[in-house]
Amino acid sequence: MTDRTTDPADLVAYLGPAGTFTETAARLITGATDDQNLLPCGDIAEVLRTVEDGRARRGVVPIENTLEGSVTATLDALAFDTSLLIHGELELPVTLIAAAVAGTSLDEIVEVTSHPVALAATRRWLSATAPNADRVPVASTARAAELVAERGPGHLAIVNPLAADRYGLEEVARDIADSARNLTRFVLVGAEVPSPTGWDKTSMVVFIDTNKPGALLKLLEIFAERDLNLTKI
């Protein structure tokens, strides 16, 4: 567990519990190697509040997945609920494995637990391998690993290798994602205004006050006339 007496200036809050993809992203994007510098939070809103309140200097949250699209909880919070700014981003390949307590075989699985995005990303594999098993969505893949470790045989977690290792689970299948191109984009947020790097992206919230034909076109023309490229709308 994270020592909460660590100087907040050295802390990075992330979507926990320990073992999530977000923890991996937090380590990569900040260079953090010590667990004492990582503060797991229960949900995205808590990550942002922790940084806003000064209990951590920076936070890491998921913002987009190539298969499931935008993480609306992050987008809505950054647009409307917080003054925090994006300081950086990282695209992380999502490696999913099926894991269970030692000695478990796939033919005895009665329940599969994971984050909804992970369950969706392995839909075809699950239908072929455990078609009659109940599918239970939880807050994170790490939480799935934790629950399966507690519940024992007959239960399967769709998780990342880090979570399986942290909670003592045994890998029973790998390369189970329906698509090889499964990436999640994470953002690093903080209260300070980040310094320009020369290759920055800018995110903005724009409202069209009148709903009429051509309104969106006129808005986009402003960017085109100034040779500004848009990567996502």
Q: Which fold has domain 97-174?
A: D-Maltodextrin-Binding Protein; domain 2 (3.40.190)
Q: How far is CA 65 from CA 62, 71, 80, 184, 196, in A?
A: 8, 7, 21, 4, 26
Confidence grade of residue 1 (pLDDT, cut at 50, 70, 90): very low
Q: What pLDDT digit, counting tens, does each position of 178-226 carry?
A: 887 888 999 999 999 988 888 888 888 888 888 889 888 988 999 999 9
Q: SS3 of 90, please?
A: strand
Q: pTM value?
A: 0.80
Q: At 61, list the tokens.
A: 């949250």
Q: SS3 of 125, please?
A: helix
pLDDT of residue 2: 42
190: left (phi over 0), alpha (psi -120 to 50) or beta: beta
Mean pLDDT of the chain: 90
Contact 79, 205 (CB under 8 A): yes
Q: What is the mean pLDDT of residues 2-20?
A: 79
β-pair type (111-114, 58-65): unpaired
Q: Where are the domains of the chain?
A: 8-94+182-199, 97-174
Alpha helix locations (H) across the chain? Answer: 21-30, 44-52, 72-76, 116-121, 123-129, 141-151, 161-166, 215-225
pLDDT of residue 173: 94
The H helix count followed by the E strand count for the chain is 8, 11
Q: At 184, list the tokens.
A: 């999640």
Contact 103, 153 (CB under 8 A): yes
pLDDT of residue 66: 85
What is the CATH code for 8-94+182-199? 3.40.190.10
- Enumerate residues 6+ apart whose C-beta is below 8 A from 121: 67, 68, 94, 96, 177, 178, 179, 182
CA quadruple 58, 60, 61, 66: dihedral sign: positive
β-pair type (134-137, 111-114): parallel
User: Are 8-94+182-199 and 97-174 the same fold in CATH?
Assistant: yes
